[in-house]
Structure 1
Amino acid sequence: MGFSTFPKYKYEPEPSSKSIHPTFLNYINYLIIGTDDEQLSARRQNILIMFRGLFQLVCLHILLRFTPYSILRLHSRDAILFSLTHFLTYTLYGFIFYFALGMVLNIVFGLVGFIWNIHIRSVYPGYPFLPTGLHDFWSRRWNIYVKSILHRIAFIALPKLTGFNKKSNVRFIFTGFFAFFVSGLLHEFMYTVSMDRWSGGKNMLFFLINGMFLAIELVFQGLLRRKQLVPPFVGWIYTIAALYSTAHLFCDPWIEADCFATLKTYLG
């Protein structure tokens, strides 16, 4: 599993020759879709990252402005699981997280990258709502910075500490699951510190279940010797289903702390 570094490249005072003439489509591709394009110079790339952050701020403002407080406070215990209303509500929460996190990190990191003239990767290197599998979502589309940290802990530091360096599918799956465990600890810590309350272990459970789902996907990929387990559309369906079925574990603690409603008060 590949991983990104931050910053992506070492300091580059002058762009390479292929970064001199980016096309308009390069800009649109980088601004909207989020895929990396090495034809862009560092400063142009970071300007687009900051513009994407501002675009996400506008989208978040519109989303919050037209969403009633009652929806932003809709707890899973007050809705019918797997109903259309429940699905659309938690899809809405997913977009709120996407826009809010992207807004902050893209503006901050884009500004830092612009000042220092270094290439920075957007927090979402690919559009997160079009995954073709759980591995595609967690490894290539969602929060590349946290993923990079977890990769170093689980796939580099842990094998060195334990001496379990032999490459195998078992080790790969175990270290991947350990990365989800560490992610659960990290999110529990961040939630407890920021909200001054405990999530009840829901954040941890969310990541452990998704780690288990991903492990199952990787096992089947290994048994069938296929990188893409099913056709992309089918992969998208089961990935969204897996994320939706566990979304309440991640979202409910933030709903209980009235975070979405508070966001609407200040940004809506």
Structure 2
Amino acid sequence: MTLQIVQVIKYWAEGEITNFIKVWTLVFASLCYSFFAAKIVPKGFPRLLSIIPILILNLILPLNLHTLHLGGSSAFFLAWLANFKLLMFAFGKGPLSDDPFISLPRFIALACLPIKSHQIKPQDKEITSSSKRGLKSLWNYVTKGFLICLFLKMYDYTDLIHPKFTWVIYCFHIYFGLEIILAIVGGLAKALVGIELEPQFDEPYLSTSLQEFWGRRWNIMVTRILRPTVYEPVLYFCTSITGRKWAPLPAIMGSFLVSALMHELIFFYLGRKRPSGEITLFFMLHGVLLVVEVAIKKAIKGRWRLPRLITGPLTIGLVVVTAFWLFFPEFLRCNAISRALDEYATMGAFVKDISQALVL
């Protein structure tokens, strides 16, 4: 039985999984270097110069992975999360600098995973309510996992389904898939080093404005990273030019521009194709629309407001329509859906082979 298990694992360990292990071994080593280098290199430009090779390495490593799930998630964790957190760390800011006595395992986990920086304490008075929220989240993820399985079955009948409805399924599939992948990674970090999962999404389909969708409900970790690295510096610079009242508008556009460029990079990792510019147009369009929304709110000062029954569908409808127009074409050019189905099939075959080996 042991020999059969080894043979099955060896078969599936060839290729992508082997590369995945090599990539994250290098990530571990590079973050160890960053951790110990910071002990002797002062924050500021000296520390930045010391970690520039790590920033470049984090951009190169995802090129060694080609699957949608392992490659895409690694690209997001390294090229985006880790690099932006290390940039803040170079200047003594961000989650890596909050605790001056941070341990190496916590430093590594915080550097590249979507988790919070405070440690979970069993004696916390809110431990009971937190456990209840965790249980609710577990059922939430189970439900979304079931829906993904349902979507996978529906893909067998796409020739009988209107193409636009299929794209709606893609929307929910991507959202649910991202949420589950990030929850699994964050859950492992919580179990291993006792750090709480950073909430990534807060039911974005309940948003009633673009400001609420992009600022408080969709990919919250990215929002929290862009705020200190892009939004606040641009806000500070523009305050002396436009005044404090209107400075947030160029800061919003700057944040959306950086987000657009990072999404273009992630899509390049996924498809290895030259960017078409549609992703950038998508985010810049939403940046302009959000600037208009914020400007109107500042002008009317809360004197008049549309009911939620109107603003909710308008907001989600706008996001979905523009995503169909500009976002999903790039996603489909990466052949993402068929690749995801192939990867699910491969994983299913792997689990089946392991089960059979254990039985025999």
Above 0.5 in TM-score?
Answer: yes
Shift in Å, 1:194? 2.4
> Greater helix percent: which structure?
2
What residue ranges of structure 2 are gaps of 5+ in the alignment? 1-93, 96-113, 346-360
- Is 1:207 the counterpart of 2:315 in the alignment? no
State the shift of 1:267 in Å: 2.8
User: Equivalent residues in 2 for 1:208-223 (5 A)?
Assistant: 208-223=284-299
> For residues 57-136 of structure 1, what are the structure 2 equivalents within 5 Å?
57-68=145-156, 70=158, 85=162, 87-124=164-201, 126-136=202-212
Work out the CA distance in 1 between the residues paired with 2:311 and 2:343: 37
Task: Give the corresponding residue for 1:80.
Answer: none
Q: What amino acid maps onto 1:189 in structure 2?
A: L
Amino acid corresponding to residue 199 of structure 1 in structure 2? P
CA–CA distance in 2 between the matches of 1:193 and 1:231? 41
After superposition, what is the alpha-carbon deviation per residue over 1:141-164, rounded to whole angstroms, capped at 9, x for unaligned?
Answer: 11111111111222233345x474
Counterpart in 1 of 2:317?
A: 241
* Closer, same or farther: CA 122–177 of 1 in aligned 2, 3 Å: same
Does structure 1 retain, via aligned residues, the 8 Å contact 2:204–2:218? yes
Aligned to 2:18: none
What letter matches 2:148 in structure 1? Answer: L
| More displaced 10-residue stretch of structure 1: 164-173 or 109-118 | 164-173
TM-score by length of 1: 0.75
Task: Indicate how the Cα distance of structure 1 residues 22 and 190 shifts in structure 2: closer, same or farther if over 3 A, else same.
Answer: closer
Aligned residues: 232
Q: Look up the match of 1:44.
A: none
Q: Secondary structure at the match of 2:274?
A: coil
When Rg is computed on C-alpha atoms for both structures, the one with the higher figure is 2
Partner of 2:337: 260
Q: Tell me the amino acid that sits aligned with residue 155 of structure 1.
A: Y
Which SS does the other structure have where 1:61 is aligned? helix
Label 1:212 to 1:228 Cα distance change in 2 as closer, same or farther (>3 A).
farther
Query: Structure 1 regions of 5+ residues with no counterpart?
Result: 32-47, 75-84
Aligned-partner SS, 1:122? coil
Give the superposition deviation at 1:185: 0.2
**Which one-letter code corresponds to 2:118 in the other structure?**
K
Letter in 2 for 1:192: F
How large is the RMSD of aligned CA atoms in angstroms?
3.0
Change in 2 beyond 3 A, CA 1:86/1:130: farther
| Cα distance, 1:11–1:137 mapped onto 2, change above 3 Å | same
Matched-pair contact (CA < 8 Å) for 1:54–1:103: no
Structure 1 residue aligned with 2:246, among 167, 170, 173? Answer: 170
Q: 1:194 aligns with which of 251, 264, 270?
A: 270
Equivalents in 2 of 1:197, 1:133: separation in Å? 33
1:235 and 1:194 mapped to 2: Cα distance?
Answer: 34
- Note the alpha carbon deviations across 1:147-196, whole angstroms, 9 max, x for none: 11111222233345x47468623211110111111110000011112211
Kindly, what percent of the aligned residue pairs are identical?
A: 22
Q: Name the TM-score, length of structure 2 as normaliser.
A: 0.57
Out of 189, 203, 224, the residue aligned to residue 148 of structure 1 is 224
Change (3 A) 1:169 1:261: farther
Amino acid at match of 1:264: L
How far is 1:20 from its partner?
3.4
Preserved CA contact (<8 Å) 2:268 2:275: yes
User: Relative contact order (alpha carbons < 8 A, sep ≥ 6): 1 or 2 greater?
Assistant: 1
Between the aligned partners of 1:100 and 1:182, the Cα distance in structure 2 is 24
Provide the C-alpha distance between the structure 2 equivalents of 1:128 and 1:157, rounded to a whole number of angstroms.
27
